[in-house]
Amino acid sequence: MKRRIQCIDCHDSGYLIDRTSEFCVASACACKAHCPLCDGRGFLYEKQDGYEVVRECQCRIRPRQLQLFNEARIPARCDGTFDDFKARSQKMELAKITAIATAHEYRREHPSRGFVISGPVGTGKTHLLCATIHWLTLEAGFSARYVEISFLYSEIRNGFSRGQSVLDALQPLISPDVLAIDELGRGRCSEFELETIDELIARRYNTRKTTIFATNYLLTKKASAGGYRDPAQAQASHCLIDRIGERSWSRLNEMCHLIELPQETSDYRLNKARF
C-alpha cells in the first residue's frame, strides 16, 4: 500500500528546491524543523552487538547535504531526477541504469567508474548528469560539481584579466568526489581549449576521481587516423576523439563506461512542445 504523503510542500523529502536563480538552491522544509526521530536532540541510541551506541541522527546530517547540493551548481533548468527519466529504448535504459549505479554504488574509498553519454539534442543527457549529482549530494552526502564546458572556457578567460591562471580556475573542479562535465567536445577545438580539457581530465584521472560526461559527439567513428592537429579540421569532425584529442580520449576510455544513444533518438523538448 502507498504511504500517504504528510507534507504537500516537499512530498516528505524534507527539502525544497528553488529554481528562480542561475543554479538550484535547496533548503530544509519547515515540516522537518522539529525532528520526530530524535526529538530535536540530534542523536539516537541504537543497539549494536548487545550494546547501546549513540548515532548521529539524519537531521544533523541534512544541513551538510543541502550545502553540498548547493555547492554543486546544478543549473536551475535541470530539475530531472532518476524517477522521472523515461527510458524509451534499450540504450536509454542502459544509460539510466549506469547513472543510477554510479550514484548508488559510489564509495569514496573505492570510487566507481564514471560514464560518458553521447547522443543527439534533447535526449536527456544533462537530465541524467544532474540526477546523478542530485542523488550523490542530497541523498548520499558526497561532494560534487556540474560544469558546462563552454562556461568553463569563458570563466577561465575572464579569470585571466584578474591574474588567475588556468590551474586556479580548475582547482574547484579537481577536488569534488564526483564531477559532471557537460557538452564535452563543444567549442572551437583551439589549443587553449584542448590544453584545458587535457589538464582537467588528466587531473581527475591521476587522482582516480569519478567523472561523468555528456556529449553530442560520436563515440564510435574516428574521422582522422592520427588525430587532428589543426583546430579547423577538428572542429569540422563529429567524432569526440577528434575534438578532444587522443590523450583525453584514452583516459576517458579507462575512466568511464561509454554509452552512445542512437542518432534516431527523438528530441524530448520537441515532443513536449508538440503535445
Ligand X SMILES: Nc1ncnc2c1ncn2[C@@H]1O[C@H](COP(=O)(O)OP(=O)(O)OP(=O)(O)O)[C@@H](O)[C@H]1O
Binding site for ligand X (CB under 6 A): 80, 84-86, 119, 121-127, 214, 216, 268-269
d(CA 249, CA 240): 8
Instruction: Specify the residue, 10 or 133, whose C-beta has the smaller distance to Zn ion.
Output: 10
Q: Of the candidates 19, 27, 28, 57, which one interacts with Zn ion according to CB under 5 A?
A: 57
Q: By the 8 A CB rule, do 238 and 263 touch?
A: no
To the nearest whole angstrom, how small is the minimum distance from the Cβ of residue 100 to Mg ion? 19
Burial label for 63, CB within 10 Å (0-12, 13-18, 19+), is exposed
Least distance from C-beta 127 to Mg ion, angstroms?
8
Q: Which is nearer to Zn ion, 7 or 140 (CB)?
A: 7
Which residue stretch of 53-61, 88-96, 119-127, 165-173 sits at the interface with Zn ion (rule: CB under 5 A)? 53-61
To ligand X, the closest distance from the beta carbon of 98 in angstroms equals 14
Q: Which triple of cell numbers denotes residue 241?
A: 576523439
Q: Which residues, 87 to 126, sit near Mg ion by CB under 5 A?
A: 126
Torsion of CA 68, 255, 187, 219, to 10 degrees: -130
Closest separation in Å from C-beta 129 to ligand X: 8
Given the rule CB under 5 A, which of 33-41, 68-76, 135-143, 238-246 is the region that contacts Zn ion?
33-41
Check binding of 267 to Zn ion (CB under 5 A): no
Amino acid in the structure at residue 225: A
Name the residue type at position 257. H
Q: Which does 11 bind (CB under 5 to 8 A by kind): ligand X, Zn ion, Mg ion, none?
A: none
In whole angstroms, give the CA distance from residue 209 to residue 108.
9
Residues 123-142 binding Mg ion (CB under 5 A) are 126
3-state secondary structure of 139: helix
Tell me the three cell numbers of residue 93.
535504459
